[in-house]
Chain A
Amino acid sequence: MAEAKKSMGFDNVEDILTKIENKSLKIESLIKQYKFIEAIKTALEGYPPQDERCKHLQSANWIGVHKALMAIKDVEGMLRSLDPQYYDILMKYAYRGLSSGNRTTCDQCLKIHEKLTEKAGFGCILRSLVDTVNTV
């Protein structure tokens, strides 16, 4: 019983990893076609698995999202066309970017943080800090 459960868990992880890789490829192709806003929308769709043991899945997901975030040149324009339901998750990714310490990532994420706070307010920051259930 325990073994069956373990193998099912393993398969599930493989599935999710494949989904994340596909998402990453899709984001890359959208970026190459200069469809930055589409890329962001794809990147922000859905949360990675929250399991403690699957931290590597969150990292894999972050790589794809990071590409989409760095490709944005016009942050304000991007936010104008973004659905408000994605504000909270974008803020969470912005904080993840800021925590990376990498100069260019932090510059971009700081820009995103500034414009997003103007648009979504402090409530957005609070929701991204307080939400321990859905993390990125």
Chain B
Amino acid sequence: MAAVAVHQFAQCITCHAWSPDHSMVALCPNNNEVHIYRLVNDKWEKVHVLQKHDQIVSGIDWSGKSNRIVSVSHDRNSYVWNREGPEWVPTLVILRLNRAALCVQWSPKENKFAVGSGAKTVCVCYYEQENNWWVSKVIRKKHDSSVTSVAWHPNNILLATTSTDGKCRVFSTFIKGVDTRESKTGSSSDPKFGEQIVQLDLSSSWTFGVKWSPSGNTLAYVGHNSMIYFVDDIGPSPLAQNVAFRNLPLRDVQFFSEKMVIGVGFDCNPMIFAADKSGLWSFIRFLGERKESLSGPKSGSQFSEAFGKLYGQAKHGLSNDTVEPSKIQGAVHDNCINCIALLNKKGSETKRFSTSGMDGKVVIWDLGNQQDLKEYL
């Protein structure tokens, strides 16, 4: 079994993030608070409740080295929480948004964080030492709709965003005084803040969940049309691969190596995508077990009763009693998974990750004993 631990934290979880040593998890139980739980003797105890936001907290990120939590909410604010003794002390970051903040991520060097918003803008915030506060610089006028997801390139300067206008864009977020210009790429790269490097128009539907591969060479994002897009060579002529799959759309993705991506979404089961030797991406399998229901039509999914009624229209005598309502068989999550987070211990080979969803569960998965995936890791 790939799922090693399942815990029900709330009725519904919006997002979650792990502490640097993975002993604590910060999550939003679909309200205006951030709850921090610690694993004590195999039991999860609520150790802190961060209450500052007025509306639902839509994004949480916990920086690995500096141990700071950033939270953003539909109330258009964001707070950076610093650990001072036993307490978490919030610092308000003024984003100057007139719509909800939807997603947030710390940059790899943790000196900046990016916030995607419903105001069709992305705010990049950095700390100004002299004034002891966080300043926000806004990327405007490029997005046509809400920014659903942001992802930092390992070089701490490029930022990829996805939006409900169907496009994925890559921007430069070079800030003088915060970022150091690489001398070798100084002339070729255009490090102006807010400069759009590339716009990918591959999907005609909402896009979510963008992530960079560990080296930053490949970009992956999902569309609401049950497709996942892999893009190499970000620049004037990117190489894109559109992979259509037969299941319900995904909401978030995560790279596990240069050649393996796991996507999570409405099928309540992590989906594994991998690239073969020639670089062609395809769907490998589901991670969790899926048992087909013994009775009922061949689709064996929770939709079988509904479909039975639909197709029964044409076949006049079909009795609906023969079709049993079946739950999603074998899946660990009961409802849509909307967040996936890496859980790698430093120096360890095994890949662990966690997922949280609208069913209020956080599930920890381990790829260690998945033999067929070892070649991709």
Contact = CB atoms under 8 A, between A and B. Distances in A.
A52 interface: no
A133 interface: yes
B172 to A, nearest CB: 29
Contacts of B314: 106-107, 110-111
Interface in A5-54: none
Interface in A114-128: 114, 117-118, 120-124, 126-127
A81 interface: no
Given A110-B311, A114-B307, A132-B204, A122 B226 contact: yes
Classify the secondary structure of B's interface with A: loop
Contacts of B249: 123, 126
A119 B373 CA distance: 26
Contacts of B205: 130-131
A118 B298 CA distance: 8
A126 B205 CA distance: 10
A130 B204 contact: yes
Contacts of A107: 314
Contact of A126 (B248, B299, B307, B311): B248
B5 to A, nearest CB: 29
B132 interface: no
A63 to B, nearest CB: 23
Contacts of B178: none
Contacts of A132: 204
B244 interface: yes
Contacts of B226: 122-124, 126-127
Interface in B234-248: 244-248
Interface in B13-40: none
B244 A114 contact: no
Nearest to A122: B248
Contacts of B307: 114, 117
B227 interface: yes
B246 A120 contact: yes
Given A114-B307, A130-B225, A121 B246 contact: yes
A123 B298 contact: no
Kindly name the residue among A114, A121, A130 whose own CB sees the greatest number of chain B CB atoms within 10 A: A130
Nearest to B301: A122
B245 to A, nearest CB: 5
B224 A126 contact: yes
Nearest to B245: A123
Interface string A61-92: 00000000000000000000000000010000
17 contacts: A88-B244, A107-B314, A110-B311, A114-B307, A114-B311, A117-B299, A118-B299, A121-B246, A121-B247, A123-B226, A123-B249, A126-B248, A126-B249, A127-B225, A127-B227, A130-B225, A132-B204
Interface of B: 204-205, 223-227, 244-249, 298-299, 303, 307, 310-311, 313-314
